[in-house]
């Protein structure tokens, strides 16, 4: 179990997310985004708890424009939960850890 959230991009998205054996959380973010930086530690805490059952990834929208476009990302941070290659839940903006935890439990 690595300590940091896996960075993914346009080229690795299909392999890491859509073909993943377990559910995947993708955090669409950018380095200049304050709320993105604020939610990162929360995602880290959730990864410490659920990292064995969910793959935690992040996609920099500035460096990887194709993938956010495919999923209609208009605002960041946007967290999309995938299961068996399909979107099962989407959360936009800074949300409480408890809300994210509820979402994770609902898809496990």
Match 């850890």 to its residue by tokens: 97
Catalytic sites, residue numbers: 33, 36
Which among 24, 29, 52 is positioned nearest to 39, based on CA atoms? Answer: 29
* Cβ pair 6, 44 in contact under 8 A: no
């Amino acid at each position: 179990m690595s300590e940091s959230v896996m960075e993914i991009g346009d080229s690795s998205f299909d392999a890491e997310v859509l073909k993943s054996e377990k559910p995947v959380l993708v955090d669409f973010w950018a380095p200049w985004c304050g709320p993105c930086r604020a939610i990162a530690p929360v995602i880290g805490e959730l990864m410490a708890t659920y990292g064995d059952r969910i793959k935690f990834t992040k996609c920099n929208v500035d460096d990887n424009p194709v993938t956010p476009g495919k999923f209609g990302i208009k605002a960041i941070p946007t967290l999309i939960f995938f299961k068996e290659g399909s979107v099962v839940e989407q959360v936009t903006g800074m949300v409480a850890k408890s809300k994210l935890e509820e979402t994770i439990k609902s898809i496990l």
